[in-house]
Structures are given as C-alpha cells and as structure tokens.
Structure 1
Amino acid sequence: MDAPTPDPPPEAALIREAARRARLSGREAARRAGVSETWWRHIANGYQDVRGVRVAVQAPDDTLVRVAQAVGLSSDELRQVGRDTAADLLDELAAPPTPTSPSTMATNNPQIEAIATLLATLPPEAQDEVLRRVGLTQPAAPQPTAPQREPREKRRTQRRAS
C-alpha cells in the first residue's frame, strides 16, 4: 500500500516548472544550488519518505534562495507562493553591494574567519608564502645574511700557517 502523498508547498511546483523551462536535470539543478540530489528531489517534490511515510518538506529560506537562483526564479515568483522572507533574501543578493553591506565585510564571513585563524597559526615565513601565492603580496627581496664563518678545518690550517 502506498503512503498518501502530502500536498506539496506551492513553491515545489514552481521549482519543478522553472527547472523544466531552464532544461536542467535534477543533478545539474542540485549542483548549481549547492544541495544534494536527494535534497533537491525532496524540495522539488515537496515531500520525503521517512520509514514508509511521506512527510511534507519545505526548504528553509536560505536553501530556497539558492534553489531559486539555480533555476532562474524571481523574488516576485517566490512572493506569489507566500515565501516572502526568501524573496527578500533573493532581492538582497541581487542588489549591488554597498560599503556597509555584510557581503563586503570580510569579518562577517565565517570562511574568511576560519582561513585567517589558520593563517595566524603559521610561522611568518609560511604566512608570507601563502599570501604571495594568492597574489596579495609581492615576493620579498632576499634578506642579507650574516657572513658565513669559514669551516673549522680551514681556520686551523690558516693558524698553523701563521
């Protein structure tokens, strides 16, 4: 006996239709949205099977925004199906960045914070090399070194000769 299928949220049909219009496979749409194929299917179908029971699925707003971007949905289309918060987030992403917007403030980016923390654990020479490799600094000029002492054998030989 098949489990009854719950009514999908209205955005599910919208997502499926937009993916079809964009000629995207589920795999490609999921890749573009940065979600697994399984999670994509759950969102696009509006349900998932849990121990033989179909359970309604509604994507969180931030996930829905990535899905909408992947299939070319507009914020107006999201608003029409009652996903106003996701629509607002999509509008924020589409707006040009401003000097005070969080997207331009590196301190609000957890990935940048993690990289900075890791970079701080490296010795200064390694930090310089990492920054050089990512193109943030020019290669350092070679530092003058202290004059090297002559090997011990050569010094002994010179003393004996004097």
Structure 2
Amino acid sequence: MTKFLLTVHVLAAIVAVGPVTVAAGMFPPVARRALAAPGDPGATATLHLLHRICRVYALVGVVVPVFGFATADEMSVLGSAWLIASIALTALAAVVLAALVLPAQNAVVEGRGTNPARLAMSTGIFSLLWATVTVLMIVRPGSTTGA
C-alpha cells in the first residue's frame, strides 16, 4: 500500500504542482509585455491561459498533501522533523499561491493591473518553497535510506 500511496503522491506533485509552478513563473514576463503593449490579443490570450492553468492545477494539487499524509501515516513518519517542516512549507506555499499569486494574476487578467515585480517576487517565493519541499522529500534528514 505504501508504494501505491507514494506513487500517487509523487505523480500528483509532478502533474499538478509542476504546471502551476511553470505557468506562474511565465505569467509575470507576459504581464509586463501586455502592460507595455495594451490591446495585444496574443499577450491577453496567453495571460488568460496561464491564469487558468494556475487555478485549475492548484485545485488538482490538493491531492498532493492528501496522499502525502496517507503515505507518511503508512510509513509511520508523521512526527519526523523533515516532514513537519515540509508540511509547514507546503501550507505556506499554498497561502502564497492563494493569497498573493492568484489574486494578482486575476487583477492583471481583469485589466485592473498590478505590480509585475511584486507578482514576480511572490511567484519566486512560491517556487522556492516548492523547491525546498522537494529537496526535503528527497533528502529526508535523519532517514535510514542513506540519502
């Protein structure tokens, strides 16, 4: 059962979190171009697409922590420091995405504008949090895997 849970957890992370991270990272440069050339239909369409990818895959990404908790429970590592740190960083990444990145993207898409530099910074923080969680999941400090 552990292998199944871990497989779904990792696949969900790749399929859901990966696209959000990439699309969110692409959004600020496209937003800068769109703000520099208002009315560019290509930039507008791209912004809409990137924002939709972020919204939809963020919802799908809920599967990642659900299967992560199930896997951790099955492996009896729920009290491990690396896992607690990963959970906290994952929660923080979710807050950054939901409270900063998606609303700023929405403002750009709706034509209300936003500060592209601030959006890029928020997106960078989101990406850095996920990169840190990924490293913790692989290295697992104190594990007996020898990693």
TM-score (norm: length of structure 2): 0.25
Q: Which has the higher helix share?
A: 2
Q: Which has the higher strand share?
A: 1
- Computing the radius of gyration from Cα coordinates, the structure with the larger value is 1
TM-score (norm: length of structure 1): 0.24
